[in-house]
Structure 1
Amino acid sequence: MFRSKKTKKVVVSSLLGVMLLSTVAFAANGIFDKKITATHGRIKLSYQGEDITKSVEDKYGAPAFTVKEYDGRAYVPVRALADIMGVSVTYDSSTHTASFVDSEKLVLNKQLELKDQEIAALQAEINQLKNKVKEEEKKEESSKTDIKELEKKLNKDYGVVDDVSFDITLKETSSRITATITIDTKDYYESNAWRKMRVADKKSLMEDIAEDISKAFKNHKVEGSIYDNYQRYTLYTFTMNNNGKVTVSDRDYGYDYGYGDYRDVERELERDLKKLGTIESIRTYEGNSNRVDATIVFEDRGNSNEPDMYDVRDAIKEVERYLDVYIYAKVYYGNHLILNYN
């Protein structure tokens, strides 16, 4: 009943002090032996409202008592006091020292110390992670700034080459930079300049751009393409390998032959002939030896709206000169054949 874990909640009927069982007394400057006589007999002990007097006397063979000689101080067996407090006690007779040790408290304090160390370690780890996140955010922000600066530089250096205008945009992922080089062949002069530009020069342009990107972003793979906004078509793609070599995939077939393919002829005919009347349909086919066959139908809107065949002829000739191709064309106004061009 004395091993209660509720320490420090000791209630004793009188003031409890450490007592030497019979002859030990404490003086201001040391310890000495003196015989004393209990003048007030035994006292009662109560713990948590329960009378434990008999239990203490039976267990330890000594009662608690008071001594008038010492201002009525109460003396209790040391072992009993330790049990009531829930601690252990040892007595050193050579030094007359009673040592109380709260083992449970020591264990708890040690556990608390370990927990404090764990919390400190976790807090340090959290701080490291926070700092790492901040560093990554700074790197990301810096990278965004760098790629925008590089984009500006590339457009400044390669924005116009051989009278062709290029718009270069860059996109970055964690390990890759993708360059999109855009042209627009809707404009006559741009289209003509692009067709005149040598294939070797186009490939050299892609190699130079890839090299500049690789220098700025050494740990990134580099890839890209040349895209025609007007045709909505990718003309070239390129990739730089780990050795710095650029591989180009050529999809610009019509342009690279020096003349437009039949789809280009169809597009240019529509652009020039729509000025002369309402076009119902244009169909083009690949012919023999640099020739494109075409069937052109103007919508019949009455005799007064029929296009002049000489104007139609001149428009077709202009397309031939522009694309450096021969055209064989049958031109109709409704169901009426107005020109057989060859």
Structure 2
Amino acid sequence: MKMIAKRIGTALLLAVFILAPGLLFWIINYAFLSHPRMAESSTPVILASESSFRTIEKELAAAGVILADGRFRILGRMMGVASHLKAGEYLFPPSISPYRVLIMVKEGATYKHQVTIPEGATLNHIATLLAAENLTTIEEFLRLAHDSALLASLNIHGPSLEGYLFPDTYFFERGPKSTETMIRIMSDQMQRVLIQTDAINGLPQYGLDRHGVVTLASIVEKETALVQERSLIARVFLNRLAAGMKLQTDPTVIYGLANFSGNLTRQDLESPSPYNTYRIRGLPPGPISSPGQQAITAVMHPAEESFYYFVSKNDGSHYFSSTLSDHNRAVLQYQTKTNPTNLKVRKQ
């Protein structure tokens, strides 16, 4: 009996020596060589958090990233990474090898969506841009943008995040709580800019705190696209605030309208909206858009001028005036022919 057992053991050991090189070659060949797949372009795959290795293997096989023959599981165990794979959205190129797949998921090399938030964007605009990349839904984003607990955690004292998400180019990942994560990233960037420009301390000489500076900067942002005019427009509004004059700025009126047709009417300018700066004195309740750093800087460092008025010259630039009579002449020169009912002459 002992002799038989010894012979069986010897045979098994011999089989291991014979088969091991072949098995090793089989695994190495599988690990490093790409395999033909159905997809001709990169394949996106979302791996949920707390997924088991077997679940991840099935999802990758279903997406056509790997072959569903069990070798991926063996390779993962041999590499010791089966319990160290990270959740998230991945974009696998069509010629990727199983080894590279495991390395990508082990290192968390998730796909990042490039999203550019333009200067002057509103919350609705930002929500639309993010939803277009399937990073969130418009409803979810706007819900969180008005969430009082989230606002408090971000030190935002207002009804929403309007104006407090910095316009910039971002690279966002899709995943659990991604909407809140994106909001925090954009809010933190705005906070950094407010600190850099000293807007965090407001303009006490004009009675403006941080919120007031952001609000005024958002108006400046919407009034002109010309960098060289922003400090001039900021000066106009600061002069009018100091003199107790109404700001009478169209972008605030438009923001307060439920529906805007594209042309301001007399009825619009008489609307009871708290954003109607043709009726109210001082600033509206809050920002009307996300101001960029240049608009914020313009408010903090306005031009040294005595201007109280400006009117469009219909070429993207504006004519600035120190007196109402000069302003009215400019309106007649630049606006009457194109807009006979122009109401900016009412500024006083």
Tell me whether the two structures share a fold, i.e. TM-score over 0.5: no
- When the two structures are superposed, what TM-score results if normalisation uses the length of structure 2? 0.28
- Structure number with greater CO (CA < 8 Å, separation at least 6) is 2
- When the two structures are superposed, what TM-score results if normalisation uses the length of structure 1? 0.28
